[in-house]
Each structure stands twice: as C-alpha cells, then as structure tokens.
Amino acid sequence: MSNIENRKNDHLDICAKGDIEHQNSTLLEEVQFFHEALPEHSLDEIDLSSRILGRELEAPILISGMTGGTENALEVNHALAQTAQKWGLGMGLGSQRAMLMDPERTRTYAVRDVAPDILLMANIGSVQARDCGALAAAELVDAIGADALCIHLNVAQEIVQDEGDRDFRGCLETFESFAKTLKKPMVAKETGCGLSPQTIRRLRDAGVQWVDVAGGGGTSWTAVESQRGSARQQALGAPLRNWGIPTAASVAFAHRAGMKTIASGGIRSGLDAARALALGADAVSLALPFLRAYANGGETQLHDTASSLIAELQAIVLLCGGSSPASLREVPKNIGPALQSWLSSGESTD
C-alpha cells in the first residue's frame, strides 16, 4: 500500500473514532433567534429548496468532501452519494491528488452510477492546482462528472504533515487564472481554519465568487495529523489544534464581502445550519456527522442524519416566522458579545 493510501486510511480511521475537534467554539451559539409565536405559515409550506452552484437542491445542505483514492474511500463515497441522491443534497469529494498521481484511482471517486442527479463537487489542493494547471484540473472535474471544482486551502495541515507541502507561493495567481479559464464554477475552500476578511477580499479580487469558509470549531486537521505522525508532527500539531477563525465570524465576513458562501466547520445540527444561514451563508456543509453516522450505523444512520437535519432546519425556519432558508437572514436575531467582537475587529481589515 502506498504512502498516500496509508494516509487516506489513517485519516478516515482517526476522524471516525478520535478526539479531533476544535476545543474552541464555532461561535454559532452566539446567534440567538427571536421566537415567533404567530408565524402565519404551515410547516408543510416551508420550502427549503435552494439553487446552489447551478443545481437545485431539496435543502441547502452539502455532504462535505472527505476521501478518495483507496478501496475504503470507494465504499464511503458510494454510501454518502446514495444518501445525497435520496435526500436531494449536494456532495463534495475528497482531494483528488491521488487521481493526479495515478489515474486508475479515478474509480474510487466515481459516484455518478449511484447518484446521477446530485450536485457533485470535485476537489484539489491549491498547491496541486498551481502545479497541474487549469487544463489538468478541468480533466479531474470531467472524469467524475462533477458540477464544480473546490480548490482547498490547508496550509496548517500541510506544514504539520511530515510529507506535506511547504511552498504556497503562486496560489492566489492560480485562483485568478482558473477563474478566467474554468468552464464550471469554482469554490475556494478552507479546511478548518476559516477565512479572514483580508483573504476573502483577495479571493474576490482574483475573480472567485464562491467560498467555503470551513471555520474553526469543527474538525481540526492539525489535531488529526498530530495523532498519526512522527514526534515532530505530534509536537507541532498539538499546539495548533485550535488555530483558526470561528465559523460564525468567517461566514459573516464572507457575506459582508458579497461572496456566495458555504458554511462549514462544526455544523452539527439543523440549528447550527439555521444560524449560519442567518449570518449570510447560502448553504451549509457537514463532514464529520455523516462520516461517524456511517461508521456507527451504516447507510441507515446516514439517512437518519440527513432526515433529522432537514426536519430540524424546516422547523426552525417556521419558529422564526420565516418561509425559506434565505428568509433567515431577515428574521430578528441577537448576536452575542464574542461574535460581535470578531465582527468589529474584522471591520478594521475590510
């Protein structure tokens, strides 16, 4: 088994069982809704359908990119894709770096046979995108029938990994080049450390229209790496476990900058989803809850997880007096002091 296969399998095992979440909050709990006792709507008429990246979804919920490149990944991706197909959700795939190294691994990312109708997002790291160029990246998208390409930013994880990337020069130029040449939508995606106002502004000016903020408060990839590597990897990963900008702040920064925004990083419930949508997200994305549902209860628990998220989000929209996910931006809400502090600090960098 190759080094990359070992790493991919280690990541799945550690995420399924390990203590790998941020110890700091997403700050989503700082968004408190005013209850509406006279909503003047029927629960059945609350319509969660949303158009995301050119595709109609039954609810603005995505199963975040997790894995690919191994036999275990093939099994996981098929199960996740079938869940997305059944519930009308979107889905991302894990990094396709393995496909770049060995095209025969393409089948471990191929899910269109079980999910022909879903919003499907391809995925490659910014360094690999820089090195392979737009044409090769477009081929990765087309090879799996994806609708969009996520280019992920994972600097903290890479510098902790013994085998990780160290040179991140030229990645912003890559986004600018891809924005001009890719025929399908592109998403700039963080991986657990969030996006600052400065970074968001630079991406926007480079032509990026969609961001996935993947803020602090959810899975910490520095914590994951600290549990699988050398003494050096452990020593660097542990103190960086809580590095990053809280998800709630990152969502608000992106919305304030006029970006189309996917909220991820610690979304664990329909209430979390509603709070992120209220801050300006167009959709939310979850990885760990779906991975652990599959690890603990297979496809049955995957479907239960999706069903619960949808039902909870629908109920909260009604309880706020709204009629759709987008209406949550306008309903009355109270923002707590910790989140207010982040937002005020961010204003000085806009």
pLDDT value at position 2? 57
pLDDT one-digit tens code per residue, 290-337: 999 999 999 999 999 999 999 999 999 999 999 999 999 999 999 999
Strands 333-335 and 148-153, sheet pairing? unpaired
Compute the distance between CA of residue 195 and CA of residue 257 in angstroms, rounded to an integer: 12
320 within 8 A of 33, measured Cβ to Cβ = yes
Exposure string over 258-295, b if 16+ CB within 10 A, otherwise e: ebbbbbbbbbbbbbbbbbbbbbbbbbbbbbbbbbebbe
pLDDT value at position 14? 86
pLDDT value at position 66? 82
pLDDT value at position 70? 84
Token digits for 278?
Answer: 């209220």
310 within 8 A of 48, measured Cβ to Cβ = yes
pLDDT value at position 13? 83
Compute the distance between CA of residue 319 and CA of residue 203 in angstroms, rounded to an integer: 36
Token digits for 296?
Answer: 């603990």
The SS3 of residue 60 is coil
220 within 8 A of 196, measured Cβ to Cβ = no
Compute the distance between CA of residue 32 and CA of residue 167 in angstroms, rounded to an integer: 41
For the packed helices 247-256 and 270-278, what is the interaxial angle rounded to 10 degrees?
30
pLDDT one-digit tens code per residue, 70-125: 888 899 999 999 999 999 999 999 999 999 989 999 999 999 999 999 999 999 99
218 within 8 A of 264, measured Cβ to Cβ = yes
pLDDT value at position 53? 97
Q: Look up tokens 């652990």; give the residue.
A: 292
State the DSSP H helix or E strand holding residue 55, giving kind and residue range, or none if neither: strand 55-57
pLDDT value at position 350? 64
Q: What sign for the dihedral angle of Cα 135, 136, 141, 144?
A: positive
Q: Look at residues 294, 308, 307 and name the one whose alpha carbon lies nearest to residue 15.
A: 294
pLDDT value at position 311? 98
Alpha-carbon dihedral angle through residues 320, 326, 287, 310, given to the nearest 10 degrees: 50
pLDDT value at position 69? 83
Q: Look up tokens 């197909």; give the residue.
A: 85
Residues with pLDDT less than 70, the chain = 1-4, 348, 350
Q: What sign for the dihedral angle of Cα 133, 135, 136, 141?
A: positive
pTM across the whole model: 0.96
The count of other CB atoms within 10 Å of the CB of residue 312 is 16
The helix, strand and coil proportions of the chain, stated in percent and rounded to the nearest 5, come to 50, 15, 35
Which residues fall within 8 angstroms of residue 108, CB to CB, at 6 or more apart? 68, 69, 70, 71, 73, 74, 77, 98
Compute the distance between CA of residue 295 and CA of residue 302 in angstroms, rounded to an integer: 9
